[in-house]
């Protein structure tokens, strides 16, 4: 029997394996249990695929919505409801990203010891309800979006879209694209704001950029096609070319830099691909300088041609400029910054910041933005079809305690320095107070 | 309430571990061999291996003794035989080289490798006296404690479900737990009145069964009546098998017929199977459906477990290999790949225990691997199961459906559970069988689910421990094989349902809802019981001093008096 005694140890090995596997599973459940419990099939806390517990607040703890057996219960304030709807999500599930789904692992209230036997949890969004209301109001029902980012932390402070609606008072006929969050899910022709991209490529690829003398006759020919400006800008240095937003200069720079290099910069800055951020995904814009003929490439440097850009992606780029070229990847959840990402060389970011400040001083007028330490660039993007151009305004402020980068678009709003700039000013003024 | 359940389970586990694993009880002594120098060797088993090997029960230092030289075997009636196991020098009994198995009497001299050994067998009286001292020295088995803890466990479980489930199910709940209580007390009284003291294995089995009943009440309360009847059948089968296993001669006689019967059963199954869940492993007789493969497990243990002489005879595994191949082939043909895998695992354990050679096991594994590859390529849905293994979340709506939901359920329960009957997972198809770990985890918490797993693991250790003192290698192998059936089923059930292993859809012994599975689980417990040689512990073991009844004629017993 002694022989068998040793051979029987194979069964002991078996039993030991059971214990080891059990331990392994316990460890896995400890790490991933929150995600497992948050799975939509979990009938304990979901009802027809919808989470029935949890509270969503803004960054300061203001309750924006609660999830209940009967669906999402929104804020009591109509403006708050309408302005935050696209971030929270709707009961019908028509809105693409909503905190109720994105942050369900936080909302389940799961913990390893109690599972889901306790109360639901809560999640604090990175956005400020106040900024959100201000942004939504400033859009005044026009089609457009406001994106504001804390460039030091990567937290999204405002992510407003218009037109929206009050989920408790839905109009019978919703305006087109009412479910769309234009700040992250819509791409527009950028126009002159794209000159910030061309400028970055120029700083790093044209050594004598700041020594050069530029001249604008109001129009020029590149690759057999005509490039036009709104006026004859005459002789200038690169700073004034930016301040005056001279198409001829930036078109020529793009042509000189070349399509491949331009493409590389557009790609690197995240304008051409989807960007995963905590709680959502920024849709892809478009830049096709690498495949364009010379005229199209030239126009692309001035943000026309077939360029498309997403407001939040632009705000992200501005945040990188403001923050020495490096950012924490954006997040919609308070205090939960993504990975450090470097978009620009530090020196390039500084020079871009300087030229944006120069532009504010010499073109837009600091007096028009009292109390704001503003670096900015406007854009007036021609959209064709006899429509008014899209109005863009983007940049950042350096006020104490308000490290915000932003991008504002108003569809068919006309001059960038008009409608979009007014909208941005309103929001920023709320934010610095 | 779950704190109390956890406390009881932990106490029972400790209590059982204390008495089954850490009780260093004195050996039984059935005879002695004394050499010329006066060195005495106790024969502590019914089968004793003599030789130079470190694995021999009687270890001789003589260089001319073969490592595995001879076997001294006692039968139920107390008669001894000696046989040579193919030694180089041969075995000499009363001065003559033996060629076949020969009777050996007290006073006979056995010469092995030049060592002269005088054989004395224990008389009835000696056996009884020794048993008395063993009993005095042995530790308490805590049968009463176990029974009390078990009763409390069952009552708490019943109360919790009465509180949580709808009032209409009151009858079902009461039926379930009252029948478990009655059967448990019946078993206990049976044990005590047979003057046996071991009640650990029964406690564990009843405890796991009652957890299974709680799951069934929660998921499918109307089926509890059927399950209750099956438990009764299982308990009766358990006692019947315990009684049957007492007599090794009887076992040896019927071992082969039982194995053949198992094959016939599988054959009938194969011929007239109804398909359920993609596996054709169900038989329907007169409206009662049952799963023959579960019962065949018992036949498989009988077929695989053999005595010492057979182990050391050449090519002893070949016939069993063929038998296993047919069984596993049948199961594979029925598309019951999970059960086939379990049988194969148990086959490996038995083959290893019988041959002691990793080569045999390795070759078999290689053959099986080949067969598995063919099976997978021939049946794409098995390939699918393997494809999703470890990636269940990537296909949560489809191939990973069961696994992801099981994980969700276990995570939802946390450590202490949502309360019996209060979970959602039970409503998922087959949650109470293939994914029962999820239901227990969700409703009773991870700790209780883990304790259920630990109880089965504990049965494995118990089997291993019992080998040292078991009377014959038949009982040793049978205990290990039965434990392996439990363990293999458990591993595939639990870890398959949480995506650590491929999901195969097999049962958790005692806990999964399923009448045949419950009956087989109970039946196999008798193999563990039959290897328990602690003094007066096991109903399946005749105490020393008793002789098989048939041969208890005065004439035959006469030799006992001689020493």
Q: Which stretches of A214-288 are DSSP H helices?
A: 238-243, 247-257, 259-268
Residues paired with residue A51 on neighbouring β-strands, in sequence order: A46
Q: Check residue B279 and give its pLDDT.
A: 54
CB environment B76-115: b (16+ within 10 A), e (fewer): bbbbbbbbbbebebbbbbeeeebeeebebebebbbbbbeb
Q: Over 90: is that where the pLDDT of B408 sits? A: yes
**The pLDDT value given to residue B347:** 92
> Tell me, what's the pLDDT at B281?
65
- B425 vs A contacts (CB less than 8 Å): 43
Q: Which residues contact B13 (CB under 8 A, 6 or more apart)?
A: B451, B454, B455, B458
| Residues of B in Cβ contact (< 8 Å) with A52 | none
pLDDT digits (tens, 9 = 90+) for B120-142: 988 888 888 888 888 777 777 78
**Nearest in space to B47 (alpha carbons), one of B552, B522, B551, B467:** B467
Residues in chain A with CB shorter than 8 Å from the CB of B477 are: 4
Contacts B415 to A, Cβ<8 Å: 112-115
Residues in chain B within 8 Å Cβ distance of A5: 55, 467-468
Q: How far apart are CA B313 and CA B101, in angstroms?
A: 12
- As for the ipTM of the complex, it is 0.92
Q: What is the pLDDT of residues B480-502, one digit of tens each?
A: 999 999 999 999 999 999 999 99
For chain B positions 71-130, those within 8 Å of chain A (CB to CB) are: none
Q: Please state, rounded to an integer, the average pLDDT across all residues of chain A.
A: 94
Q: Which long-range contacts (CB under 8 A, 24 or more apart) does B324-327 make?
A: B324/B300, B324/B351, B326/B263, B326/B266, B327/B262, B327/B263, B327/B266, B327/B296, B327/B300
What's the CA gap between B34 and B113, in Å, rounded? 15
The reply to whether residue B414 touches residue A112, judged by beta carbons under 8 angstroms, is: yes
Q: Does B408 touch chain A (CB under 8 A)?
A: yes
Cα dihedral angle (A255, A258, A262, A263), rounded to 10 degrees?
120
Contacts of A401 (CB under 8 A, 6+ apart): none
Beta-carbon count within 10 A of A230 CB:
12
| CA distance readout (Å), B357 to B195, B349, B477 | 41, 11, 15
CA distance A338 to A149: 13
- Dihedral angle of Cα A328, A330, A335, A338, to the nearest 10 degrees: -50
Peptide bond before B46: cis, by omega within 30 degrees of 0? no
* CA–CA min distance A96, chain B (Å): 20
Q: How far is CA A397 from CA A149, A394, A404, B433, in A?
A: 11, 10, 6, 63
Task: Choose the mutation target among B66, B204, B414, B502 for the interface with A, i.e. most A CBs under 10 Å.
Answer: B414
Please report the pLDDT score of residue B552 as a whole number: 44
To the nearest whole Å, the CA of A86 is away from the closest chain B CA by 27
Is residue B561 very low, low, confident or very high in pLDDT (cuts 50, 70, 90)?
very low
- Scan for tokens 């007789």, then name that residue: B285
Question: pLDDT-based confidence at B276, cuts 50/70/90?
Answer: low
Q: Do B484 and A29 touch (CB under 8 A)?
A: no
Nearest to A95 by CA among A156, A181, A172: A181
* Between residues A402 and B329, the one the model is more confident about: A402
Contact B466, B528 (CB under 8 A): yes
Note the pLDDT tens digit of each residue in A243-297.
999 999 999 999 999 999 999 999 999 999 999 999 999 999 999 988 999 999 9
Q: Which of A5, A12, A14, A105 to mutate to test the interface with B (most CBs of B within 10 A)?
A: A14
Binned at pLDDT 50, 70 and 90, residue B401 comes out as very high
Q: Averaged over A384-397, what is the pLDDT? A: 92
Residue A255 tokens read as: 């042509």
The reported pLDDT for the residue numbered B562 is: 38
* pLDDT reading at B280 higher than 80: no
Task: Quote the CA–CA distance of A200 and A217 in Å, as a whole number.
Answer: 24
d(CA B72, CA B30): 11
**The pLDDT of residue B559:** 45
pLDDT score of B62: 83
Among the partner residues A4, A16, A117, nearest to B353 by beta-carbon distance: A4
Interval A151-162: pLDDT, tens: 999 999 999 999
Look at residue B24 in the predicted model and tell me its pLDDT: 64
pLDDT of residue B168: 92
Two tokens at A400? 């104490």
Does the structure show a pLDDT above 90 at B384?
A: no
pLDDT in tens, A337-364: 889 999 999 999 999 999 999 999 999 9
Contact B544, B131 (CB under 8 A): yes
Arithmetic mean of pLDDT, B416-437: 94
Ramachandran angles phi, psi of A236, nearest 5°:
-165, 165
> Does position B558 have pLDDT exceeding 60, yes or no?
no
Signed CA dihedral, B89, B93, B97, B100: sign only: negative
Chain A residue with Cα closest to B404: A36
Prediction pTM value: 0.84
Residues A189-216, buried b or exposed e (16+ Cβ, 10 A)?
bbbbbbbbbbbbbbbbbeeebeeeebeb
Decide if pLDDT at B286 tops 50. yes
């Amino acid at each position: 029997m002694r022989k068998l005694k040793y051979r029987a140890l194979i069964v002991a090995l078996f039993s030991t394996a059971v214990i080891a596997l059990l331990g392994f599973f316990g460890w896995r459940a400890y790490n991933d249990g929150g995600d497992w419990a948050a799975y939509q099939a979990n009938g304990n806390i979901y009802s027809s695929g919808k989470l029935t517990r949890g509270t969503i607040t803004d960054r300061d703890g203001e309750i924006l919505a609660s999830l209940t057996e009967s669906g999402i219960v929104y804020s009591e304030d109509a403006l708050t409801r309408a302005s935050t709807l696209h971030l929270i999500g709707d009961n019908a599930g028509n809105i693409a990203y909503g905190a109720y789904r994105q942050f369900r692992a936080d909302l389940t209230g799961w913990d390893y010891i109690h599972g889901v036997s306790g109360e639901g949890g809560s999640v604090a969004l990175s956005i400020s309800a106040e900024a959100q209301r201000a942004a939504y109001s400033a859009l005044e029902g026009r089609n457009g979006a406001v994106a504001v980012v804390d460039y030091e932390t990567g937290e999204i402070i405002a992510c407003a879209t218009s037109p929206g609606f009050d989920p408790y008072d839905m109009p019978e006929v919703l305006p087109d694209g009412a479910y769309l969050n234009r700040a992250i899910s819509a791409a527009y022709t950028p126009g002159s704001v794209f000159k910030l991209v061309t400028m970055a490529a120029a700083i790093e690829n044209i050594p004598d950029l700041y020594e050069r003398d530029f001249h604008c006759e109001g129009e020029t020919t590149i690759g057999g096609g005509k490039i036009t400006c709104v006026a004859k800008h005459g002789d200038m240095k690169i700073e004034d070319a930016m301040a005056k937003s001279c198409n001829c200069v930036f078109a020529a720079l793009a042509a000189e830099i070349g399509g491949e290099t331009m493409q590389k910069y557009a790609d690197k800055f995240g304008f051409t691909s989807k960007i995963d951020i905590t709680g959502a995904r920024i849709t892809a814009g478009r830049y096709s300088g690498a495949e364009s003929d010379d005229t199209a490439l030239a126009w692309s440097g001035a943000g026309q041609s077939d360029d498309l850009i997403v407001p939040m992606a632009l705000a992200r780029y501005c945040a990188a400029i403001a923050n020495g070229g490096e950012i924490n990847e954006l997040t919609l959840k308070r205090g939960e910054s993504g990975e450090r990402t470097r978009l620009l060389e530090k020196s390039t970011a500084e020079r871009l910041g300087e030229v944006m400040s120069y532009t504010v001083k010499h073109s837009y007028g600091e007096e028009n933005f009292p109390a704001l330490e503003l670096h900015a660039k406007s854009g007036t993007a021609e959209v064709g079809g006899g429509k008014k151009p899209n109005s863009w305004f983007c940049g950042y402020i350096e006020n104490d305690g308000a490290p915000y980068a932003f991008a504002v678009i108003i569809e068919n709003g006309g001059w960038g320095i008009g409608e979009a700039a007014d909208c941005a000013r309103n929001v920023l003024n709320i934010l610095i107070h | 309430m779950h704190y109390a359940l956890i406390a009881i389970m932990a106490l029972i586990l400790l209590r059982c571990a204390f008495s089954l694993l850490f009780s260093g009880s004195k050996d039984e002594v059935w005879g002695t061999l004394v050499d010329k120098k006066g060195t005495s060797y106790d024969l502590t088993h019914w089968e004793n291996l003599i030789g130079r090997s470190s694995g021999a029960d009687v270890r001789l230092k003589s260089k001319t003794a073969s490592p595995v030289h001879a076997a001294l075997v006692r039968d139920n009636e107390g008669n001894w035989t000696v046989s040579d196991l193919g030694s180089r020098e041969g075995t000499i009994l009363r001065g003559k080289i033996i060629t076949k198995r020969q009777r050996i009497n007290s006073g006979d001299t056995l010469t092995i490798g030049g060592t002269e050994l005088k054989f004395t067998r224990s008389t009835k009286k000696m056996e009884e006296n020794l048993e008395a001292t063993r009993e005095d020295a042995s530790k308490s088995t805590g049968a009463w404690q176990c029974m009390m803890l078990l009763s409390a466990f069952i009552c708490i479980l019943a109360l919790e479900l009465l509180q949580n489930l709808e009032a209409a199910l009151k009858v079902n709940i009461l039926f379930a737990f009252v029948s478990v209580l009655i059967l448990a007390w019946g078993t206990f009284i049976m044990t005590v009145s047979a003057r046996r003291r071991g009640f650990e294995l029964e406690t564990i089995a009843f405890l796991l069964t009652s957890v299974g009943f709680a799951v069934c009440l929660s998921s499918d309360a109307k089926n509890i009546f059927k399950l209750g009847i099956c438990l009764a059948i299982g308990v009766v089968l358990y006692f019947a098998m315990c009684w049957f296993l007492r007599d090794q001669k009887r076992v040896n006689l019927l071992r082969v017929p039982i194995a053949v019967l198992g094959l016939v059963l599988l054959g009938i199954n194969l011929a007239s199977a109804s398909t359920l869940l993609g596996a054709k492993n169900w038989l329907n007789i007169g409206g009662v459906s049952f799963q023959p493969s579960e019962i065949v497990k018992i036949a498989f243990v009988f077929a695989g477990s053999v005595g010492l002489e057979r182990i050391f005879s050449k090519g002893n595994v070949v016939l069993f290999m063929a038998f296993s191949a047919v069984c596993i082939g049948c199961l594979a043909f029925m598309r019951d790949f999970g059960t086939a895998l379990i049988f194969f695992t148990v086959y490996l354990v038995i083959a290893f225990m019988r041959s002691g050679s990793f080569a045999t096991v390795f070759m078999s594994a290689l053959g099986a691997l080949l067969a598995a590859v063919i099976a997978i390529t021939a049946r794409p849905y098995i390939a699918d199961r393997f494809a999703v293994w470890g990636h269940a979340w990537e296909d949560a709506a489809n191939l990973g459906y069961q696994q992801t939901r099981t994980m969700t359920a276990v995570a939802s329960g946390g450590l202490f559970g949502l309360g019996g009957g209060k979970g959602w997972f039970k409503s998922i198809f087959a949650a109470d069988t293939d994914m029962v770990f999820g239901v227990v985890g969700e409703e009773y918490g991870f700790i209780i689910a883990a304790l259920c797993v630990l109880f089965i693991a504990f049965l494995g250790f118990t089997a291993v421990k019992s080998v040292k003192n078991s009377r014959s290698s038949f009982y040793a192998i049978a205990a290990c094989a039965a434990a392996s059936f439990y363990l293999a089923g458990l591993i595939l059930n639990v870890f398959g349902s949480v995506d650590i292993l491929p999901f195969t859809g097999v049962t958790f012994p005692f806990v999964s809802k399923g009448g045949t599975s419950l009956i087989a689980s109970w039946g196999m417990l008798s193999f563990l019981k039959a290897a328990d040689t602690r003094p007066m512990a096991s109903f399946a073991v005749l105490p020393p001093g008793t002789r098989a009844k048939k041969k208890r004629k005065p004439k035959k017993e006469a030799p006992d008096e001689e020493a």
